[in-house]
Amino acid sequence: MKSLRYLVPLAVFLVISAFLAVGLTLDPREVPSPLIGKPAPAFELPRLLAMDDSVGSADLRGEVWLLNVWASWCVACRSEHPLLNQLAAQDLVTLVGLNYKDAPADARAWLRQLGNPYHMIAVDGQGDVGIDWGVYGVPETFVIDHEGVIRYKHIGPLDRKVLQEVIVPLISELRS
């Protein structure tokens, strides 16, 4: 009976160690999204550059598009922004911005300073649409097909590798 007293804590320690070892091998950017393969949540929001007008998912029916969730207060968004400008210059896909929990004046100033890669920008001031899309934080990027189905989600800032090896090939595949 005394030996069992020492074996139980050892067994608990080994189980916890195994979970930790497995967890350390996972990529935190690969958070599974329950929305992959499902219709993109509908939205209708004011446009950042024309607040009296609106933009919504219905405006994008029939085309492949990228939704990039960003904010002017987001340091990581600044690091991915040059890549978004380059992607926009290639004119491969409709790039839609979702300005998340941001002051519109700050967002407009940020775009004046860094350039505007977006075809249209929706203002999600309260973050409700972001919640519908399962946004963990900014930046996040989604690829949506011509039927309005989410095909891919990237958490964190885009880098050249994921853009060239994952997103651009997926866009090309979906457009063909």
Domain residues for 146?
Answer: 37-175
In a domain, 12, yes or no: no
Give buried/exposed letters for 3-34 (b at 16+ CB in 10 A, else e). Answer: eeeeeeeeeeeeeeeeeeeeeeeeeeeeeebe
Q: What is the pLDDT along the chain (176 residues), one digit of tens a residue?
A: 666 677 777 777 777 787 777 767 766 555 567 789 999 999 999 999 999 999 999 999 999 999 999 999 999 999 999 999 999 999 999 999 999 999 999 999 999 999 999 999 999 999 999 999 999 899 999 999 999 999 999 999 999 999 999 999 999 999 98
CATH of residue 156: 3.40.30.10
**Structural domains of the chain, count:** 1
